Amino acid sequence: MEYTQKIKKDVFRLFHDDFKQPVTYLLISDIHIDSKHCNLKKLKNDLEEAKSRNAKVMIFGDLFDAMQGRNDKRRFMMDLKKNDLERSYFNGILETAYNILKDYDVIFISRGNHETSVQKYNDIDLIELLQDKIPFAVGSYRGFISFSFKNKAGKSRIILYYNHGSGGLAPMTMGVLEHKRTSIWVDADIIISGHNHQNWSYESMRVSISSAGNLFFKKQTHLKMSTYKQEFFGDGFAAERNWQPSVLGGYWLTFVPERTTEYGAKSIVRWKIERTD
């Protein structure tokens, strides 16, 4: 049995009460689904693969591009899609997102800077309006997700911390320093961020002791979420800042039932990360 519970404003728990088979999630970010630069073919391929894997979808900020509103300083009329000229802009991009996501098992969407910008200048919460059409849990800009597992072998919990991200493109460090700083004050097994359309993952090990005084190691996984927006060609925001082309896609996060002490004291679960093709 699998279900989601909102514990606090920024804390969610996903229960897996009969954990016998591997469970997979599709983690994606920075889709910019209404942008004409969004690679909808790649997005739909990944969503279709999620359906075939029976994987639930989690989106960590900037589902929307939403930069063509009247009060947005980033507005660039050349980036408007033709059909957005023929309808109410915010209603239109909501319809775009709904039509694409409605057939998939989307369970969580958090806000990114593009959504909070629309809130700030237009008093419109695009994520909550989309939630009226599709049932999913709404996350803030940053928060925690606790994956809880239980079977006859025992119980385990894997903690994921997410933050949509901050700063610029970070072409040299690629956001690694931000994750290094975050790992100092966040105690989580998985730390993810997006925002600057970089693409990497790395793992580190932490050492601790059990209540009996035995040493054990805990793995910490870091993911920098990429994007589905490829805006290298043409004029506009990215060209004026000489941004590099982006690697498109997301990650598969798979939890596997396995009794082990490698990644925690008496854990019944291990996890693995794969890039989407």
Q: 129-149 pLDDT, tens per residue?
A: 999 999 999 999 999 999 999
Q: How far is CA 26 from CA 29, 55, 149, 150, in A?
A: 10, 6, 18, 22
Using the 8-state DSSP alphabet, how is residue 265 labeled?
Answer: T
One CATH from 3.60.21, 1.25.10, 1.20.1740, 3.30.70 for 2-275: 3.60.21
pLDDT in tens, 152-173: 888 999 999 999 988 766 666 7
Write down the pLDDT at residue 146. Answer: 95
| Separation of alpha carbons 67 and 117, rounded Å | 9
pLDDT band for position 10 (50/70/90)?
A: confident
Candidate from 64-68, 117-121, 220-224, 251-255 with smallest mean pLDDT: 64-68
Q: What is the DSSP letter of 18?
A: T
Does position 1 have pLDDT exceeding 50, yes or no? no
- Selection from 151, 158, 153 nearest residue 259 by Cα: 153
CA–CA separation, 195 and 271 (whole Å): 24
Could you read off the pLDDT of 184-235 as tens digits, one per residue? 889 999 999 999 888 889 998 888 887 788 788 888 999 999 999 987 666 6
Q: Which residues contact 80 (CB under 8 A, 6 or more apart)?
A: 36, 68
**DSSP reduced 3-state for 49:** helix
Strand, helix or coil for residue 120: helix
Mean pLDDT of 102-112: 96
Would you kindly state where each structural domain of the chain is located, as residue ranges?
2-275
Look at strands 142-151 and 23-28 and give their pairing: unpaired
Using 50, 70 and 90 to split pLDDT, how confident is the model at 61? very high
The answer, yes or no, to whether residue 98 has pLDDT greater than 50, is yes
Q: pLDDT (tens digit, 9 = 90+) per residue, 248-275? A: 999 999 999 988 766 555 678 999 999 9
